[in-house]
Chain A
Amino acid sequence: MAHDASTASGTLAPLEGMQGIVADWSSDQRAFKKVPWGKAMMWIFLLSDTFIFASFLVSYMTVRMSTTVPWPNVSKVFSLTVGGQEVPLLLIAIMTFILISSSGTMAMAVKFGYQKDRKTTALLILVTAAFGASFVGMQAFEWTKLIMEGVRPWGNPFGAAQFGSSFFMITGFHGFHVSVGVLFLLIMAAKVWRGDLDREAPGFLTGRRGNYEMIEIMGLYWHFVDLVWVFIFAFFYLW
């Protein structure tokens, strides 16, 4: 009775710290313990995606540093006129708060998913998708506004020509990520609502059996989209 559960079942408690890293990576069968394989793979995908977004942001830095023409005043370019008064970066700030809120609802969806609360989970995923869709909508509005004002990938009336190409490339690629995310959120919401994850029904594309880990993996992607926006907001809109 004195010995603990881990020795009784014949397994040792996993090592921690540096020794834990060496033990995990040199171990048989799986290096990433205590995570479903899908989650480890999603993390590795996100790492590669990080490098893609970083390439865009670094090239933006390079063209901005090397141009001899003054960079447009971003605070002014992205301002909105409300009640006759010009508020700088208003739309961008609203978009930021919306994306953060969508991350919050997503995190809660993951939690309710593991509690097998089917309806709350589906509802929270739908709210997340709605936030995401409104974000894309505002981005479309912003693109329209800038295009009407004459911003093009090869030039604009406000300053350095590289502004347009950086803007369309970076926000376009991010917007594409959000759009794909919304699509997958809607698919996931339908799966949850139908009870596919409870019944472990095979998916329509991969045939993998449904389970609530899928929502956490979906959540990782969604939080990543929010994470990238944090960097775009800081470097492109505020710098």
Chain B
Amino acid sequence: MTHADSHEHPIAAPKKLEGQAHPISVYLWIWGLLFVLSFFSYLVDYFHFQGLLRWTLILLFMFLKAGLIIAIFMHMAWERLALVYAILVPTCALLVLTGLMSFEGNYTFATRGTHFAPEVPVAVKATH
């Protein structure tokens, strides 16, 4: 009887949950940090920082927030690398897409400057 219960029928054994449990203080800390970081990124706009400083600060706070959410709230920090890499590595393809499209965007902007510019020379020619 005891054999049958413990070893012969592994499928019938009660399912052990594979989820994650962490102390509540971890979540509260991250919650607080996210508040502070959001407040900082709001201040970037409030104080009208411009140019390179603005973009650097926005990206810095953005990546810190995203990292905290993925690592702690979504438990990525505690997963096995096989899952972490399967999810995070493909997103690097987006950097390539961003690079290609910024090249494309600049090109379109330049073309518009050439082909849709006010046609001053033509108007001048017409008066003669």
Contact = CB atoms under 8 A, between A and B. Distances in A.
Interface string A30-48: 0111111001100110110
A104 interface: yes
A85 interface: no
B77 interface: no
A100 B31 contact: yes
A199 to B, nearest CB: 14
Contacts of A17: 81
Interface residues of A, number: 67
A43 B87 contact: yes
B82 interface: yes
Interface stretch (A18-26, A127-135, A178-186): A18-26
Contacts of A36: 17-19
Contacts of B81: 16-18, 20-21, 24
B25 to A, nearest CB: 11
A166 B38 CA distance: 23
Task: Please tell me the size bucket of the interface on B.
Answer: 35 or more
Interface string A48-81: 0011001000110111111110000001000000
Nearest to A53: B94
B101 A227 contact: no
Q: In this complex, which of A54, A97, A234, A237 has the most chain B Cβ atoms within 10 angstroms of its Cβ?
A: A234
B127 interface: no
Contacts of B55: 239
A233 B39 CA distance: 12
A97 B55 CA distance: 21
A8 interface: no
Contact of A111 (B24, B38, B54): B24
Contacts of B27: 104, 107-108, 111
B18 A213 contact: yes
Contacts of B44: 238
A223 interface: yes
A186 B48 CA distance: 40
Nearest to B93: A51
A105 B59 CA distance: 26
A234 B62 contact: yes
Interface in A110-137: 110-111, 114-115
Given A21-B82, A34-B79, A111-B21, A233 B35 contact: no
Interface of A: 14, 16-18, 20-21, 24-25, 31-36, 39-40, 43-44, 46-47, 50-51, 54, 58-59, 61-68, 75, 88-89, 93, 96-97, 100-101, 103-104, 106-108, 110-111, 114-115, 211-213, 216, 219-220, 223-224, 226-227, 230-231, 233-234, 237-239
25 contacts: A14-B80, A31-B82, A32-B83, A35-B18, A43-B86, A43-B87, A44-B87, A58-B98, A61-B105, A66-B105, A67-B109, A68-B116, A93-B42, A97-B38, A101-B31, A114-B19, A114-B20, A219-B73, A219-B74, A227-B66, A227-B69, A230-B66, A234-B41, A238-B41, A238-B54
Given A65-B109, A75-B45, 12 more contacts: A36-B19, A58-B97, A61-B102, A62-B104, A62-B105, A66-B109, A100-B38, A106-B73, A111-B21, A111-B27, A212-B19, A233-B41
